[in-house]
């Protein structure tokens, strides 16, 4: 069976995209579907390469039984556009940045996270300059999108 490869992308890969990766990985494991997916996250910028996720993202995830502490930030690479079937940007700015660097044949793999998962053009807000409540709100939004993504992921990715 082919694995479906999903990449979650935000700016620095320390707040939103590691949360999305961790949540989706957790949901796939709970559904006993982990073997169906290759899940990763990256940032459009390289400011935090090699760093752990933001401590507030780690805490928000841990509050819900999700461990993202082992993740390390990385910047998206050209090879990612070939490697992944679906690349989900957390906001319009990151989607725009992805479109600038993606090869033409990869543009059909790029989507706004909420547009693909929930049919909404709303950004997942960056909680970096906020507090615990902002990270909790982002966790809740990402959870809703990842719950919607899990049942459609296999079907949507086979069709593309």
CA 110/CA 1 separation, integer angstroms: 23
Catalytic member of 40, 85, 91, 126: 126
Give the residue among 56, 52, 50, 51 at the shortest CA–CA distance from 69.
Answer: 52
Q: Look up 75 and say whether it is catalytic.
A: no
Q: Look up 54 and say whether it is catalytic.
A: no
Catalytic member of 16, 80, 85, 146: 16
What residues contact residue 50 under an 8 Å CB cut-off, 6+ apart? Answer: 72, 73, 74
Tokens for 128, please give them: 């970096």
Q: Look up 16 and say whether it is catalytic.
A: yes
Catalytic member of 10, 25, 54, 123: 10
Catalytic residue annotation: 10, 16, 126
């Amino acid at each position: 069976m082919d694995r479906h490869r999903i990449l979650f992308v935000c700016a620095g890969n320390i707040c939103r995209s590691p949360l999305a990766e961790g949540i989706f990985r957790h949901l796939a494991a709970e559904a006993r579907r982990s073997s169906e997916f290759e899940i990763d996250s990256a940032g459009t910028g390289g400011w935090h390469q090699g760093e752990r996720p933001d401590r507030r993202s780690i805490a928000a995830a841990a509050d819900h039984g999700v461990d993202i502490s082992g993740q390390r930030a990385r910047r998206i690479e050209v090879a990612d556009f070939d490697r992944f079937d679906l690349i989900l940007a957390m906001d319009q700015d990151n989607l725009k940045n992805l479109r600038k660097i993606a090869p033409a044949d990869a543009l059909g793999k790029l989507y706004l996270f909420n547009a693909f998962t929930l049919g909404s053009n709303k950004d997942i807000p960056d909680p970096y300059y906020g507090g615990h409540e902002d990270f909790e709100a982002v966790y809740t939004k990402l959870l809703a999108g990842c719950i919607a993504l899990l049942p459609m992921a296999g079907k949507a990715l086979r069709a593309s």
